[in-house]
């Protein structure tokens, strides 16, 4: 398995969470309220699984290797990817603030969360498309087999240090639970 295959697998998990997030936004917009624990869990997944783990694998391992192979971080596709990761972080921060507002019972907080959630889902979906279509094929083509092996080791280290043993599975169980609740057995309305 190529290192980019591992990243693509993570993209699939992130995309499921984006679909759940969009459904949560739709319910908030319809005035149906939200389960605070679920919102918290979703943000925790986005913070840890998507940002601190997946984006870190790209920023700390993949992009530096591509930089060494002649694709500079300061410009072109990598610079765009970095800017989008940053924009995602800002939106996560905003969703966090809205979540605190929802917990305090503030009027507009639910709608604010929904707007930020939709913006985040849109940003990340396009971002993932660009990585699949442009960036990962570049990495597959440009990086030597040896470098690609080293990338996998670097990914493993991040996985251990940031996510910790067993936590990855916990995130997948969370995804299954939320998928069941919001996508499979979602009531209409
Ligand atoms: Fe990325
Ligand atoms: Fe990615």
Of 142, 135, 150, the C-alpha closest to 8 is 135
Q: What is the pLDDT of residues 8-34, one digit of tens each?
A: 999 999 999 999 999 999 999 999 988
Q: How far is the CA of 104 from the centre of ligand 1 (A)?
A: 33
Q: The CATH number of 3-184 is which of 1.10.10.10, 2.60.110.10, 1.20.120.520, 1.10.30.50?
A: 1.20.120.520
Where does the pLDDT of residue 188 fall: very low under 50, low under 70, confident under 90, or very high at 90 and above?
low
CA 136, CA 9: separation in Å to the nearest integer? 13
Of 101, 127, 124, the C-alpha closest to 112 is 101
Q: pLDDT exceeding 90 applies to what percent of the chain?
A: 89
Q: Which two tokens stand for residue 70?
A: 């002649």
Per-position b or e across 7-19, b if 16+ CB within 10 A of its CB: beebbebbebbbe
3 pLDDT above the threshold of 60: yes
**Would you list the domain boundaries of the chain?**
3-184
Q: What is the DSSP string of 41-60?
A: HHHHHIIIIIIIIIIHIIII
Ligand nearest to the CA of 4: 2
Q: What is the pLDDT of residues 40-98, one digit of tens each?
A: 999 999 999 999 999 999 999 999 999 999 999 999 999 999 999 999 999 999 999 99
Those residues with Cβ within 8 angstroms of residue 189's Cβ, 6 or more apart along the chain or in another chain: 30, 32
What pTM does this model have? 0.95
DSSP 180: I
Q: How far is the CA of 189 from the centre of ligand 1 (A)?
A: 34
Ligand nearest to the CA of 82: 1
């Amino acid at each position: 398995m190529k290192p980019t295959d591992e990243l693509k697998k993570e993209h699939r998990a992130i995309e499921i969470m984006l679909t759940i997030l969009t459904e949560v936004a739709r319910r908030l917009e319809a005035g149906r309220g939200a389960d605070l624990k679920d919102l918290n869990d979703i943000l925790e997944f986005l913070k840890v699984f998507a940002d601190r783990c997946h984006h870190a694998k790209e920023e700390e391992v993949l992009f530096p290797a591509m930089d060494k192979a002649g694709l500079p971080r300061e410009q072109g596709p990598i610079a765009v990817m970095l800017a989008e990761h940053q924009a995602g972080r800002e939106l996560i921060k905003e969703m966090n603030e809205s979540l605190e507002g929802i917990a305090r019972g503030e009027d507009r907080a639910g709608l604010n969360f929904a707007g930020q959630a939709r913006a985040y889902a849109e940003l990340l979906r396009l971002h993932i498309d660009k990585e699949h279509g442009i960036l990962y094929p570049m990495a597959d083509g440009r990086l030597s087999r040896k470098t690609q092996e080293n990338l996998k080791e670097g990914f493993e280290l991040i996985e251990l240090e940031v996510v910790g043993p067993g936590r990855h599975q916990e995130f997948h169980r969370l995804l299954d639970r939320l998928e069941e609740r919001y996508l499979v057995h979602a009531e209409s309305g």
